[in-house]
Structure 1
């Protein structure tokens, strides 16, 4: 799923890789997960043609009806008709209701093929546990973060202003970073273990991890993929295996950390409970203490180059946008306190 990002390599190492492998350099483009509006809804529709809903999930279980009313689904407007069932295959991202007229989501959910999506192209589904339920509300304005990058996924958040206020519970915003080891709840309609997509909202509990844990696991994936690239070209160029290993080790040793301080890491060591394809934009939150508080936004993950999906791998945790770091930006745009 991933291609080893040049952004993780310092100048000389990246230049060497580009010069040696032009095809590799040509592959550096916006990450594929940055166009969920096109990709996720299509994948849901394709799955529904061939299989029924499965109960196997990435460590999750069906949420009770009405359990998390602040969770919203983003739907492709053009995929909808007058029937509620059309909502199931139209879902492409999640989001959270933070005020009666504002939804918080991932920045990459608001872009398609490098361009900001039109407000008319997305419909927000409010109050649904099953995707065939809920109320459809039109989007009036799309507000991605000004610093969002579809290459690095920096500043991966954005807002949707609804065409009208809704009468539904909202989620609070974290004002401080959660402690390492803290428990957090994850919800969404994303892909399950067997490659299917659920109609019903799923939930699971995971642990907040240190950014160092994410960096170590993800860099190990990049290192393995890099060795694969170098071995492939090494055989073609008749370069000895020892030389390939030394080159891979050298590049790996100077690889920069994938996570910034504005990202957070969460999951379990086995990878058995994780966010996945289709969960993007949804909330990672602390449900304790009355009103739930959002800690993170589902952002991105990694898996081996030959993997079908970039989630569910041991020691490779998922990455979330750290909400506390952006509280001031959110307040400035929405007036939410």
Structure 2
């Protein structure tokens, strides 16, 4: 039955026409990574933006830049990850609810209809529900639930702008195998940001936690091959598999072919991983299984290092927020 209370937009994504005269031989290629392999993107975090909620936070990542250090054209400009989170609670559960000795956590992740080039519906899809399950498992190891029996807390995250696996001018890769390897990085980046912004909002709400849990993501990428290397890879199929590198905080707009991704939720004070999600196939550097496990271990360590680097921004943001609160409530300010 159609919803008569709102006017729904088109099911598919739409883009305004762009009239530009392209020079001869111009090719709209994917921008290259301007950062080092062990360098994460700049991020902005702000807490306490929603007065009606117990705690709130806003997180934004720096968009990918072009070759000259500035964003690309409007038609091919990649999306920058923008997340907002509100925490409601702790509040008592209804009388009909069964007794729970620990705090009952409920996570909800929803893409805004304008968050991606492909329009999202008002009902959560399978990917959004899957992200919420991973977020709950990452946050359960942080909360001190014994101090809030028969209480519940709701964590609501809205993705205002989400990273996508492919650009607008290349909805699919050249082959199905390349697209399957690259598919999933945008979802991993969104989950990493959701873990960070949810942890900041929970601490802003005054809920007892062990420490900040920060999300970090890493990927196994292969640099673009030259024509000579491509010709060699046709003769020897495993030549392209031998060229790989592990990158911290990869962006879907900067890499064309990725083999494996890893996202973690990391507690630095306890040196614990509350959430680990690995997707893809690690490259084979040999026939030994120990070598394959070594690549997976390095991939996980890089994701942890990305989480540690992002933790400094979260700590500094809370220092600035607490300093502003103390100044606003001081007697001198009236």
TM-score of the pair, normalised by structure 1:
0.27
TM-score of the pair, normalised by structure 2:
0.27
Larger radius of gyration: 2
Tell which has more relative contact order, 1 or 2 (C-alpha 8 A, sep 6+).
Answer: 1
